[in-house]
């Protein structure tokens, strides 16, 4: 099993370096596949040893070898966390039957989408339609497949209900605040998370989002990095909470119910 974890970590970091490229080129409206990887400053093509996820950043001391401009910390961080998330998926969803494998594939793919949504919203305060719509479509497809294969349509309805409730919840706040507290992008993320988690687990995600969000907002205010009124994108909190829910949602729910019931 340990070898499998290592392999999935390496696989994840490679996918992570691709996701970094996706985020960058999505913003610049460039093709992801056409151009080979290059330094964003001096456009120099990268050699093979500059393309090793996580490791290259530290070998080059975070700088381009030619123009010596700093390389963003975003690159090794996204690569590392993609690797970590891939390993956690294997650890927590280690079912290698046919259905299990389909589930693992779905989780790997949807995680990539969530990571791109996280980074993109964190950097640009935006949710890209080119990312969110395919993710919603894939989740809808998977929920339909799951319902058909297990003959349990309650799964499907739970997802649709989740998407409606979460989407509606954010729509409400967008309308009330006239788009000041939350944006249309958050409604779309809400719909996606509803489809992924269904109605029950959704509340864990929502609770975590505002719990973690409030703590981070407080820390930023204490550090005087942000004022109370300044804008903090919600997407990173939503997607971050989604990953915590994915791996530890059941524990959290048990713990929560144990305290109050
Ligand atoms: Zn350069």
Q: Ligand 1 centroid vs 62 CA: distance in angstroms?
A: 11
Q: Find the 145 Cα to ligand 1 centroid distance in Å.
A: 46
Residues 109 and 79 in one domain: no
State how far the Cα of 190 lies from the Cα of 239, in Å rounded to an integer: 10
Structure tokens that stand for 232 in this block: 């903090």
**Euclidean distance between the first and the last CA atom of the chain, given in angstroms as a whole number:** 38
Say if residue 251's pLDDT is above 70: yes
Summarize the confidence of residues 152-166 as an average pLDDT. 92
| Same-domain status, 64 and 104 | no
Residues 51 and 120 in one domain: no
Q: Are residues 4 and 11 in contact, defined by beta-carbon separation less than 8 angstroms?
A: no
Measured at the CA of 43, the angle between CA 37 and CA 45, to 5 degrees, comes to: 45
Judged by DSSP in three states, 48 sits in helix
Is residue 163 domain-shared with residue 78, that is, in the same domain?
no
Q: Is residue 78 domain-shared with residue 110, that is, in the same domain?
A: no
Q: Do 165 and 248 share a domain, yes or no?
A: yes
Separation of CA 36 and ligand 1 centre (Å)? 14
Ligand 1 mean position, distance from CA 192 (Å): 37
Distance 75 CA to ligand 1 centre (A): 15
Question: Whose CA is closest to 30, among 130, 116, 117, 153?
Answer: 130
How high is the pLDDT of residue 28? 82
Number of separate domains in the chain: 2
Let me know whether 56 and 100 are in one domain.
no
From the CA of 115, how far away is ligand 1's center (Å)? 26
CB 42, CB 69: distance < 8 Å: yes
Residue 172: strand, helix, or coil: helix
| CB within 8 Å of 43: residues ≥ 6 apart | none
Estimate to the nearest angstrom the gap between the alpha carbon of 58 and the chain centroid.
24
Q: Are residues 164 and 226 in the same domain?
A: yes
What's the pLDDT score for residue 30? 72
Q: Do 87 and 123 lie in a common domain?
A: no
Looking at 92, 112, 128, the residue that finishes a domain is 92
**Centre of ligand 1 from the C-alpha of residue 125, in Å:** 26
**Domain endpoint, select from 36, 62, 92:** 92
State the pTM of this model.
0.91
The reply to whether 150 and 252 lie within a common domain is yes
**What is the 66 CA–ligand 1 centroid distance (Å)?**
5
Range of the domain at 13: 1-92
Chain segment 29-62, per-residue pLDDT in tens: 776 666 677 887 888 888 888 888 989 898 888 9
Ligand 1 mean position to 52 CA, how many Å? 17
Distance 21 CA to ligand 1 centre (A): 16
Same domain, 16 and 83: yes
Q: Residue 134: pLDDT above 70?
A: yes
Instruction: Give 127 Cα–ligand 1 centroid separation in angstroms.
Output: 28
- Among residues 44, 62, 92, the one where a domain terminates is 92
Q: Based on the domain organization, do 55 and 150 belong to the same domain?
A: no
Residue 69 C-alpha to ligand 1 middle, in angstroms? 6
Q: Whole-angstrom Cα distance, residue 219 to residue 230?
A: 14
CA 72 – ligand 1 centroid, Å: 12
Q: What separation in Å is there between the alpha carbon of 213 and the centre of ligand 1?
A: 36
Average pLDDT value for residue range 131-144: 96
Alpha-carbon span 203 to 208, nearest angstrom: 8
């Amino acid at each position: 099993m340990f070898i499998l974890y290592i392999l999935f970590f390496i696989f994840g970091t490679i996918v992570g370096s691709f996701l970094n490229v996706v985020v960058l080129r999505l913003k610049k409206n460039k093709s992801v596949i056409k151009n080979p990887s290059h330094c964003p400053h001096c456009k120099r093509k990268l050699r093979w040893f500059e393309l090793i996820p996580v490791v290259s950043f530290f070998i080059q001391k975070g700088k381009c070898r030619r123009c010596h401009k700093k390389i963003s910390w975003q690159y090794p961080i996204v690569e590392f966390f993609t690797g970590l998330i891939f390993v956690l998926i294997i650890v927590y969803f280690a079912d290698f039957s046919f259905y299990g494998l389909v589930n693992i594939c779905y989780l790997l793919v949807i995680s990539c989408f969530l990571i791109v949504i996280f980074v993109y919203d964190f950097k640009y305060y935006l949710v890209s339609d080119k990312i969110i719509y395919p993710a919603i479509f894939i989740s809808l497809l998977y929920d339909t497949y799951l319902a058909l294969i297990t003959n349990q349509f309650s799964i499907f309805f739970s997802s649709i209900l989740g998407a409606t409730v979460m989407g509606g919840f954010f729509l409400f706040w967008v309308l009330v605040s006239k788009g000041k507290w939350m944006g249309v992008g958050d409604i779309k993320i809400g719909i996606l998370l509803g489809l992924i988690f269904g109605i029950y687990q959704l509340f864990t995600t929502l609770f975590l989002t505002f719990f973690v969000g409030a703590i981070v907002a407080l820390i930023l205010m204490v550090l005087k990095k942000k004022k109370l009124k300044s804008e903090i994108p919600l997407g990173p909190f939503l997607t971050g909470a989604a990953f915590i829910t994915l791996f530890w949602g059941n524990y959290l729910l048990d713990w929560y119910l144990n305290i109050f019931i």
